[in-house]
């Protein structure tokens, strides 16, 4: 059984295919480093929340890419201007960017030696997914890496948070 990244020619009609749950789990388990593009130093932003979760519940080396963070430290990590500035090629590039920026980001991720372009929940760019696939990257879009990691590692309630309760039994409310 091969674990090689599928090439465009292996996809029907040469088009990008959404990776299924087993493939997404494999991508998360095989990764050792994650670069978050569009990272913010504001705790109210989704990128900060995702980075906080990944820091507390994974062993990924994290890199925060945002030109505004250069010279700053966020969650104990320095900020970088571009993927080229990182000390290593990240396994996963997580994108918190607008769709129009994503095709160029796919090219930048491939040039930096990344393995996967992961576009966050609510963000779509079929063009970027195809560019990433054509350049040999794995490509995931419209999925939150925090939610996917939590789902696969038993840390996620249906509402998207950890309740701390492990039970298959529903609680019935007393109607009196």
Q: How far apart (Å, rounded) are the C-alpha atoms in residues 45 and 176?
A: 42
Looking at residue 66, what DSSP letter applies? -
For the CA atoms of the chain, what is the radius of gyration?
17
pLDDT score, position 85:
97
% of the chain surpassing 70 pLDDT? 79
139, pLDDT greater than 70? yes
Smallest CA-to-CA distance from 21 within 146, 166, 140, 155 is with 140
User: For the chain, what are the domain ranges?
Assistant: 18-152
* Cβ(146)–Cβ(96) below 8 Å: no
The reply to whether the predicted model has a pTM over 0.85 is: no
51-91 tens-digit pLDDT: 999 998 778 999 999 999 999 999 999 999 999 999 999 99
Q: How far apart (Å, rounded) are the C-alpha atoms in residues 54 and 48?
A: 10
Say yes or no: domain 18-152 is CATH 1.25.40.10. Answer: no
């Amino acid at each position: 059984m091969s674990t090689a990244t599928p090439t465009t020619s292996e996809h029907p009609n040469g088009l990008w295919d959404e990776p299924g749950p087993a493939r997404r789990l494999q991508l998360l388990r095989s990764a050792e480093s994650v670069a978050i593009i569009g990272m913010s130093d504001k705790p109210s932003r989704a990128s900060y929340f995702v980075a906080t979760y990944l820091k507390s519940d994974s062993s990924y080396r994290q890199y925060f890419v945002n030109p505004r963070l250069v010279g700053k430290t966020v969650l104990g990590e320095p900020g970088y201007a571009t993927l080229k500035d990182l000390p290593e090629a990240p396994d996963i590039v997580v994108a918190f960017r607008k769709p129009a920026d994503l095709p160029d980001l796919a090219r930048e991720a491939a040039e930096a030696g990344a393995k996967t372009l992961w576009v966050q929940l609510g963000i779509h760019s079929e063009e970027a997914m195809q560019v990433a696939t054509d350049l040999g990257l794995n490509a995931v879009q419209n999925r939150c890496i925090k939610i996917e990691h939590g789902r696969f590692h038993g840390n996620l309630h249906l509402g998207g948070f950890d309740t701390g309760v492990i039970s298959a039994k529903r609680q019935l409310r007393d109607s009196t």
